[in-house]
Homo-oligomer: A and B are copies of this chain.
Amino acid sequence: MKQELQIIGFDNSGKGTEPFYSFNPATQINNGYSFLNATNDEINQAVAKAASAFQVYRKKSGMEKTAFLTAIAEGILTTGDELVTVCCDETGLPPARIEGERMRTVNQLKMFAALLTEGSWVDARIDTAIPDRAPVPKPDLRFMQIPLGPVVVFGASNFPLAFSVAGGDTASALAAGCPVVVKAHPAHPATSAIIGKIIQTAAQNTNMPDGVFSLLFDNGIEAGVRLVKHPLIKAVAFTGSYKAGKALYDAAVSRPEPIPMYAEMGSTNPVFVLPQVMKLRGAEIAAGYAAAVTLGIGQFCTNPGIMVYQNNDEDFKLSLQLAFEKTSGGVMLTPNILSAYNSNLQKHLAIPGVEHFASSSLKTVDATNNAVPVLLSAESSVFNSESILSEEIFGPASMVIPVATKKDMLDIAENLSGHLTATVHGTEEELIEYKELLDILEQKAGRVIINGFPTGVEVCSAMVHGGPFPATTDSKTTSVGTKAIDRFTRPVCYQNMPQSLLPAELKNENSLHISRLINGERTNKNIG
């Protein structure tokens, strides 16, 4: 049994007395790694170090932070196959998926490194003085985004790399100039330890301050809540369930000093299929939908959980059934997640009017903790009257809702709560005819997808992986893409600050060659 320790800045610590272990979810075999729940002292040490490191780290240049993020990316890229093996053992996910997720994680870090190297993300704004303005002189005012302070990041169960220790939340917080204390997800602690050590080494090798990164383990909720409530913590990022996310949000906003808490809590990601396109491409859409529902054993935040289609076309129904029967089940991330999946399915099926529509006929017989993909169906009247049917079933389940008219479809859309995504399949002609549907959906979701599926979340400047509550606790943000950095900054304005004391981003000489708004004009030029 290998004993893994808390990572507290450049130190390691093992003061806890309550051990827990890394398990294989399929076999329930202990993977040979032991962890300790972080003690209050360890939590306080990690946060105190983060606060102290902040005073140094916040002044690091874009190029210095680029070096740090790049070193983390390189470390993850070159750490070898152990990462994949350990991660597969802990999560039940297949190696190809973990390899893909590793590249995604590396690319996220590199994206933020590139953003820092370019430098314009600070949103520099300069209004120069007008000393002879009447009735009062106009002062010199210079504005930029600065980091908030130490950030707590919660690792997510469903993306052990891309939304965990070195995932998008950590990458964007570090890019912003905020030290990060990660609470590892107990479903993949050994993976978390590997990545944590890579970040610790990268911080040392690139001359970052002790405390810029810490990684704490806890098998329960206590360490997480304590971190969120710690007065030196200035923001929180989380990906996970509504229940956990909302509880942490409530803790964050009821602190003596409330702090921003960015919880991405998933959604059912509704898909609407319009009548013309169903006739033209029904089988293709059915196959795409079945694949999207079951991708990653339905454990993505963006798997679609509802499909609404107009015209009760028998061919389309048959295509859906056939496509769903061909899907594979698979090992879920933890026994608890599987049991919640099965019990949520039963709750939905127990509602009068909810029918079993199709199931996977391909079951992986040699694995335990295996989820079977299931497609349910319900009339829109049933769906509209039972609010529980709008709640996400985390796993490879979905519900199809045939509707008779455009109005029925609009009614369902109108009654949706907030979602990460909303998708419409339609010919261009009928999309124009259903413009009203699109107008509704853009008010319900962070991303509106046409003729595709929501499960791919591109890492780029234009991505929004967010959306209105209850998909997230802050619809104004995204947890994927470059905009994610804004979660960890606030603007500051310097009035009549001497050139020698201004940050490089705001001096007259634009030595960083960034894009700035100077007296209302966007330019890369120097002043004067």
Task: List the B side residues contacting A249 at CB < 8 Å.
Answer: 258
A528 CB to nearest B CB, Å: 17
A463 touches B500 (CB 8 A): no
Task: List the B side residues contacting A451 at CB < 8 Å.
Answer: 496
Q: Which of B450, B462, B466 meets A126, CB within 8 Å?
A: B462
B498 touches A125 (CB 8 A): no
- Which residues in window 480-497 of A have CB below 8 A to B? 483, 486, 489-497
A522 at the interface (CB under 8 A from B): yes
> Known interface pairs A260-B476, A483-B491, A522-B522. Does A138 touch B458 (Cβ–Cβ under 8 Å)?
yes
B520 touches A448 (CB 8 A): no
Task: List the B side residues contacting A452 at CB < 8 Å.
Answer: 139, 495-496
Give the total of A residues in contact with B, Cβ under 8 Å.
78
B449 touches A466 (CB 8 A): no
A438 touches B501 (CB 8 A): yes
Q: Among A142-150, A178-186, A332-340, A345-353, which stretch is in contact with chain B?
A: A142-150
A410 CB to nearest B CB, Å: 12
Q: How many copies does the complex hold?
A: 2
B490 touches A447 (CB 8 A): no
Q: Which of B254, B469, B492 meets A446, CB within 8 Å?
A: B492
A476 touches B462 (CB 8 A): no
A432 at the interface (CB under 8 A from B): yes
Task: List the B side residues contacting A463 at CB < 8 Å.
Answer: 127, 141, 143, 493
A489 touches B476 (CB 8 A): yes
A139 to B454, CA, bound (A): 11
A440 CB to nearest B CB, Å: 9
A431 at the interface (CB under 8 A from B): yes
A451, closest chain B residue (CB): B496
Q: 0/1 per residue, A405-428, Cβ < 8 Å to B?
A: 000000000000100000000001
A495 touches B139 (CB 8 A): no
A442 touches B258 (CB 8 A): no
Q: 0/1 per residue, A464-475, Cβ < 8 Å to B?
A: 101011100111
A450 touches B257 (CB 8 A): no
- Which residues in window 105-130 of A have CB below 8 A to B? 114, 118, 120, 125-127
Q: List 26 A-B contacts (CB under 8 A).
A: A125-B461, A125-B462, A125-B483, A127-B458, A127-B461, A127-B463, A141-B463, A142-B462, A143-B461, A143-B483, A146-B442, A257-B417, A260-B474, A260-B476, A431-B498, A435-B501, A442-B492, A445-B492, A447-B495, A448-B493, A448-B497, A449-B495, A464-B492, A464-B493, A476-B486, A476-B489
Q: Can you name 10 extra interface pairs (CB under 8 A) apart from A249-B258, A450-B495?
A: A126-B462, A141-B463, A142-B462, A432-B501, A438-B501, A447-B494, A450-B498, A452-B495, A466-B491, A483-B491
Rank and list the top 10 A-B pairs by shortest CB-CB distance, nearest first.
Answer: A464-B493, A143-B462, A141-B462, A125-B462, A253-B253, A449-B495, A447-B493, A127-B462, A127-B460, A475-B490
